[in-house]
């Protein structure tokens, strides 16, 4: 089996003709920025792809990615595996897995996890395996998000892993009427105040913060991106893909979105040695929700708040909708983040424009149709 | 739309217009709004669009103001405000050239049940100051919970009053209108007219932290626009409003404010120095200085005016 040419791992059919200048200038910085190779190496210095055997980097440690089979995990794995050893853990199978990625299809809470830490010399853990699905029971979400994560943290302290990157989200701050327009990293995490199902996500963020203080030997990074959209299947992307998305009558908050690949790049930047702390991640600018929906090609259906709430509750009960009615608060109040810390300390800059982001969101809609 | 003319099917063009983009409601708002703007320009004798174009905001990467300011909506609002400013309340403005360039906090007394004083200060800054200053004002948090208001206010440049927002705006060299009396001031009953209530301390701390000059403003004429005889507190609590004033004129069918004559006195700016985290007592001295300046400006203005409506 010949390795595919490294830049060409997307299906050619999925690629629509795109204006050249819109594309981000490099896929370069992420992969080669990891673990101390600060500057991207010039194209000529890269060895030619060979049959199967790749030159290994000097660092021996592997990067453990939990939840690698999600859309974000796959993107991250593709960015990392050319320069780093990547070990993936997920309950799901990893179908189109590059050959040099080691994948364990296990439950994160199982004992086997400890064996991976013992035998694989893990140098960094990227925790993406967070259960967001609001349909799952409270018990399962708690056991997966909290108990599982606690076990992971135990192994990390036991085997002295020097790096932890946790992907939290801006929704742990929660949309509130009294939010400042831009939330900094110090803002209180009130996401569960009106939306009980957020409780475990807030707690997960808190656990990571606790680990940050308890284990100064480990560089802990918590990333809190705003709504991640793109070809992922999450609430924000699914909402933008709707033909007739609902809007709450009389409310039109400012919204931030960020492209999934920008988040992957931020994770790559967070993996560099010396980086620690909490970082908000923001996309290429904020705009009113109505503008965003119209740009995404949807025709908003404006519904009074109490009607929307009652209807969503019923639809949720009948399993006709995947949006719990508490998420309507995102359509009413602002929940935007200030990313100045990520810009200065992490060197993060969003590269995908809003048009490009929405094109990626829409592309999936037409494929599904 | 053009399609309406040829078709014999009723409302056929209406449907097509929906699919082509603008909803009929939006078209109606636009045509009425444009007419109001033209009327206001004729009455006021000023080019309002040039005034709007003259203000500086800080748009983000996609061209929107991060706080939601929308020039298109503000155009209509400015036209209405100009009519109120020049014709209805016949505002007289004194000392507007005292406003320094760059970041500034405009601190005024609050009065009159509905915030027409904010509207008039804002239109004075937009129409009388050269170059026009685009004012942001800090509004109560509960307005963000009200439908339509929560959409309209940000489009006009109003910002939910939190210290983080104020700090960010002042760092962008913007102009903020602050009413340190807050809801206490605006819902005063008629017997307490022109007596300043307690000032909050936050605005002085903010000014010290961001080294912002404070311009005191005395507003005369607001207290008589909606004389209120009582504050019906239980109903206010029920409606989750800061106060529920009992206004006799509303019972007589006069919903609009009385056309009192407004006078705005802009004072010399204060440049405070000190530690923003100082004791309350140290901050209170500075607050007292601002408050007593405004009170004495109010008193002087009341002495000088001949009547409420002239």
Residue B154 touches chain A, beta carbons under 8 Å = yes
Check A177 against B150: CB less than 8 A apart. yes
- Alpha carbon of A251: minimum distance to chain B alpha carbons (Å): 5
| pLDDT at residue A292 tops 80 | yes
Residues 6 or more apart whose CB falls under 8 angstroms from that of B3 comprise B12, B13, B16, B17
Query: Of A180, A250, A284, which has the smallest distance from its Cβ to B148's Cβ?
Result: A250
Helix/strand/coil for B2: coil
Query: Position of tokens 């990625």?
Result: A101
The predicted-structure confidence for A198-224, as pLDDT tens digits, reads as follows 899 999 999 999 999 999 999 999 999
The predicted-structure confidence for A334-352, as pLDDT tens digits, reads as follows 999 999 999 999 999 999 9
Query: Of B67, B144, B164, which has the smallest distance from its Cβ to A333's Cβ?
Result: B144
Better-scored residue on pLDDT, B78 or B26: B78
Nearest-CA residue of chain B relative to A291? B64
- Alpha carbon of A294: minimum distance to chain B alpha carbons (Å): 9
Q: Which long-range contacts (CB under 8 A, 24 or more apart) does B133-137 make?
A: B133/B55, B133/B99, B133/B104, B133/B175, B134/B55, B134/B56, B134/B57, B134/B174, B134/B175, B135/B106, B135/B175, B135/B176, B135/B177, B136/B67, B136/B169, B136/B174, B136/B175, B136/B176, B136/B177, B137/B176, B137/B177, B137/B178
- Per 3-state DSSP, chain A is made up of helix, strand and coil in percentages (nearest 5) of 40, 15, 45
Check B150 against A251: CB less than 8 A apart. yes
- Alpha carbon of A333: minimum distance to chain B alpha carbons (Å): 7
The predicted-structure confidence for A53-90, as pLDDT tens digits, reads as follows 444 444 578 999 999 999 999 999 999 998 889 999 99
Check B151 against A252: CB less than 8 A apart. yes
Which run of H or of E encompasses A166?
A: strand A163-167
Across A260-284, average pLDDT: 94
Check B64 against A354: CB less than 8 A apart. no
Check A177 against B145: CB less than 8 A apart. yes
Query: Of A250, A287, A304, which has the smallest distance from its Cβ to B62's Cβ?
Result: A287
Residue A355, pLDDT score: 92
Query: Position of tokens 């795109």?
Result: A18
Q: How many Cβ atoms are within 10 Å of A281's Cβ, its own excluded?
A: 27
Domain for residue A263, yes or no? yes
Residue A176: exposure state from Cβ atoms within 10 A (0-12, 13-18, ≥19): buried
Which sign does the torsion angle of CA A215, A216, A219, A222 carry? positive
Check B64 against A254: CB less than 8 A apart. yes
Residue A159, pLDDT score: 93
Interface test with A, best of B24, B147, B163 (most A CBs within 10 A): B147
Domain for residue A49, yes or no? no
Query: Of A178, A285, A287, which has the smallest distance from its Cβ to B144's Cβ?
Result: A178
Residue A29, pLDDT score: 44
Check A181 against B150: CB less than 8 A apart. no
| pLDDT at residue A326 tops 80 | yes
Residue B29, pLDDT score: 86
Interface test with A, best of B160, B167, B172, B174 (most A CBs within 10 A): B160
The predicted-structure confidence for A24-58, as pLDDT tens digits, reads as follows 444 444 444 444 444 444 444 544 444 444 444 44
Domain for residue A360, yes or no? no
DSSP state of B14: H
Check A286 against B64: CB less than 8 A apart. yes
| pLDDT at residue A234 tops 80 | yes
Better-scored residue on pLDDT, B83 or B182: B83
Based on the structure, what is the number of domains in chain A? 1
Which run of H or of E encompasses B165?
A: helix B163-171
Residue A35, pLDDT score: 47
Tell me the percentage of chain A whose pLDDT exceeds 70: 83
- Alpha carbon of A115: minimum distance to chain B alpha carbons (Å): 47
Residue B254, pLDDT score: 85
Size of interface A-B (CB pairs under 8 A): 73
Distance of alpha carbon B148 from alpha carbon B269, whole angstroms: 36
Query: Which residues from A are below 8 Å from B when comparing CB atoms?
Result: 177-182, 184, 248-254, 284-288, 291, 304-305, 332-333, 336, 353-354
Residues in chain B: 310
Residues of B in contact with A298 (CB under 8 A): none
Residue B243, pLDDT score: 83
Nearest-CA residue of chain B relative to A286? B66
Domain for residue A202, yes or no? yes
Q: What angle do CA A237, A109, A35 make, to 5 degrees?
A: 70
Residue A55, pLDDT score: 46
Mean pLDDT, all residues of chain A: 84
The predicted-structure confidence for B262-309, as pLDDT tens digits, reads as follows 999 999 999 999 999 989 999 999 999 999 999 999 999 999 998 888
Burial call B14-27: b when 16+ CB within 10 Å, e when fewer: eeebeeeeeeeeee
Check A180 against B160: CB less than 8 A apart. yes
DSSP A65-104: EETTTSHHHHHHHHHHTTTSEEEEEESS--TT--TT-EEE
- Lowest average pLDDT, out of A74-78, A291-295, B7-11, B249-253, goes to B7-11
Residue A366, pLDDT score: 65
- Alpha carbon of A77: minimum distance to chain B alpha carbons (Å): 30
Residue B122, pLDDT score: 93
- Alpha carbon of B264: minimum distance to chain A alpha carbons (Å): 31
What would the two tokens of residue A118 be? 């013992």
Residues in chain A: 369
Closest to A331 in 3D by CA, of A353, A359, A301, A295 = A301
| pLDDT at residue B165 tops 80 | yes
Better-scored residue on pLDDT, B101 or A9: B101
> What is the distance of C-alpha A289 from the center of its chain?
21
Residue A154, pLDDT score: 94
Residues of B in contact with A336 (CB under 8 A): 66
Residue B253, pLDDT score: 84
Q: How many Cβ atoms are within 10 Å of A332's Cβ, its own excluded?
A: 22
Helix/strand/coil for B73: helix
Distance of alpha carbon A223 from alpha carbon A127, whole angstroms: 11
Residue B9, pLDDT score: 57
| pLDDT at residue B33 tops 60 | yes
Check B64 against A181: CB less than 8 A apart. no
Residues of B in contact with A287 (CB under 8 A): 62, 64
Q: Which domain holds residue A342?
A: 62-231+256-283+336-354
Distance of alpha carbon A49 from alpha carbon A52, whole angstroms: 8
Query: Of A177, A284, A332, which has the smallest distance from its Cβ to B141's Cβ?
Result: A177
Residue A174's region, left for phi above 0, alpha for psi from -120 to 50, else beta, is left
Domain for residue A8, yes or no? no
Domain for residue A321, yes or no? no
Helix/strand/coil for A162: coil
Residue A80, pLDDT score: 92
Note whether B112 and B186 are within 8 A (CB): yes
Phi, psi of A49 (to 5 degrees): -65, 135
Check A305 against B145: CB less than 8 A apart. no
Residue B24 touches chain A, beta carbons under 8 Å = no
| pLDDT at residue A16 tops 70 | no
Closest to B270 in 3D by CA, of B218, B206, B209, B216 = B216
Residue B21, pLDDT score: 60
Domain for residue A139, yes or no? yes
Better-scored residue on pLDDT, A132 or A14: A132
Check A178 against B141: CB less than 8 A apart. yes
Distance of alpha carbon A308 from alpha carbon A250, whole angstroms: 13
Residue ranges in chain A assigned as alpha helix (H): 28-33, 71-80, 112-120, 138-142, 148-158, 199-214, 235-241, 260-270, 289-295, 305-317, 340-341, 354-368
Mean pLDDT, all residues of chain B: 88
Across B116-124, average pLDDT: 93
Helix/strand/coil for B193: coil
Distance of alpha carbon A232 from alpha carbon A245, whole angstroms: 18
Nearest-CA residue of chain A relative to B154? A253
Query: Of B151, B154, B160, which has the smallest distance from its Cβ to A178's Cβ?
Result: B160
Residue B126 touches chain A, beta carbons under 8 Å = no
CA count, 13 A, side-chain hemisphere, B270: 23
Residues 178-237 of B with CB under 8 A from A: none
Residues 6 or more apart whose CB falls under 8 angstroms from that of B74 comprise B52, B155, B156, B157
Q: In angstroms, how far is the first alpha carbon of chain B from the final one? A: 48
Residue A214, pLDDT score: 95
Phi, psi of B161 (to 5 degrees): -75, 90
C-alpha distances (whole Å) from B263 to each of B95, B158, B188, B228, B291 are 11, 23, 19, 21, 18
CATH of the domain at A220: 3.40.50.720
Tell me the percentage of chain A whose pLDDT exceeds 90: 64
Residue A58, pLDDT score: 43
Across B237-254, average pLDDT: 85
Across B41-56, average pLDDT: 86
Query: Of A250, A291, A304, which has the smallest distance from its Cβ to B151's Cβ?
Result: A250
Confidence of residue A364 (pLDDT cuts 50, 70, 90): confident
| pLDDT at residue B224 tops 80 | yes
Domain for residue A276, yes or no? yes
Bridge partners of A303, per DSSP, are: A248
């Amino acid at each position: 089996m010949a390795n595919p040419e490294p830049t060409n791992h997307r299906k050619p059919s999925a690629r629509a003709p795109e204006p050249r200048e819109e594309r981000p200038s490099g896929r370069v910085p992420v992969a080669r920025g990891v673990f101390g190779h600060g500057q991207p190496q010039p194209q000529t210095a890269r060895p030619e792809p060979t049959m199967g055997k790749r030159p290994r980097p000097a660092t021996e440690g592997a990067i453990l990615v939990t939840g690698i089979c999600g859309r974000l995990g796959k993107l991250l794995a593709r960015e990392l595996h050319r320069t780093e050893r990547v070990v993936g853990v997920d309950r799901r199978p990893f179908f189109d897995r590059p050959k040099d990625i080691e994948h364990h299809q296990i439950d994160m809470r199982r004992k086997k996890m400890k064996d991976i830490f013992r035998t694989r010399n893990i140098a960094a853990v990227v925790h993406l395996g967070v259960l967001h699905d609001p349909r799952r029971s409270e018990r399962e979400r708690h056991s997966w998000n909290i108990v599982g994560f606690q076990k992971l943290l135990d192994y990390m302290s036991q085997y002295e892993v020097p790096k932890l990157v946790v992907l939290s989200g801006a929704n742990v701050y929660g949309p509130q009427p009294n939010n400042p327009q831009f939330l900094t990293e110090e803002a209180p995490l009130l996401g569960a105040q009106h939306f009980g199902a957020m409780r475990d996500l807030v707690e997960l963020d808190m656990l990571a913060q606790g680990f940050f203080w308890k284990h100064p030997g480990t560089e802990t990074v918590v990333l809190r991106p705003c709504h991640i959209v793109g070809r992922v299947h999450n609430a924000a992307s699914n909402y933008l893909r709707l033909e007739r998305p609902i809007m709450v009558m009389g409310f039109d908050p400012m919204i931030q979105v960020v492209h999934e690949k920008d988040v992957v790049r931020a994770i790559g930047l967070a993996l560099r040695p010396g980086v620690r702390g909490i970082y908000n991640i923001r996309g290429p600018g904020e705009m009113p929700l109505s503008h965003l929906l119209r740009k995404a090609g949807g025709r908003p259906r404006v519904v009074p708040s109490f009607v929307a709430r009652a209807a969503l509750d019923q639809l949720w009960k009948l399993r006709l909708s995947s949006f719990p009615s508490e998420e309507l608060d995102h359509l009413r109040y602002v929940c935007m983040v200030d990313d100045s810390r990520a810009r200065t300390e992490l060197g993060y800059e969003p590269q995908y424009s809003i048009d490009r982001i929405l094109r990626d969101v829409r592309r999936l809609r037409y494929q599904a149709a | 739309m053009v399609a309406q003319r040829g078709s014999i099917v009723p409302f056929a063009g209406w449907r097509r217009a929906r699919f082509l983009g603008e909803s009929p409601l939006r078209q109606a708002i636009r045509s009425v709004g444009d007419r109001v703007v033209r009327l206001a320009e004729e009455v006021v004798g000023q080019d309002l669009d040039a005034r709007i174009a003259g203000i500086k905001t800080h748009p983000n990467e996609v061209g929107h103001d991060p706080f939601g300011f929308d020039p298109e909506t503000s155009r209509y609002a400015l036209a209405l405000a100009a009519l109120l400013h020049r014709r209805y309340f016949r505002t007289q403005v004194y000392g507007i050239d005292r406003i320094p360039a760059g970041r500034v906090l405009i601190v005024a007394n609050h009065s009159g049940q509905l915030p027409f004083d904010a509207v008039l200060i804002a239109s004075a800054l937009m129409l009388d100051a050269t170059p026009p200053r685009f004012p942001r004002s800090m509004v109560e948090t509960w307005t963000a919970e009200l439908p339509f208001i929560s959409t309209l206010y940000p489009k006009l440049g109003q910002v939910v009053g939190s210290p983080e927002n104020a700090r960010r705006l002042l760092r962008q060299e913007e102009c903020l209108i602050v009413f340190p009396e807050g809801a206490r001031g605006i819902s005063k009953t008629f017997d307490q007219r022109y007596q300043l209530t307690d000032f909050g301390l936050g605005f002085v701390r903010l000014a010290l932290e961001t080294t912002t000059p404070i311009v005191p403003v005395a507003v005369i004429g607001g207290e008589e626009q909606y004389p209120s005889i009582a504050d019906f507190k239980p109903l206010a609590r029920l409606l989750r409003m800061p106060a529920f004033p009992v206004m006799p004129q509303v019972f007589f069918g006069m919903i609009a404010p009385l056309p009192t004559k407004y006078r705005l006195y802009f004072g010399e700016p204060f440049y405070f120095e000190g530690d923003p985290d100082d004791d309350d007592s140290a901050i209170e001295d500075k607050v007292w200085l601002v408050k007593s300046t405004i009170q004495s400006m109010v008193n002087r203005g009341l002495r000088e005016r001949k009547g409420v409506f002239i």
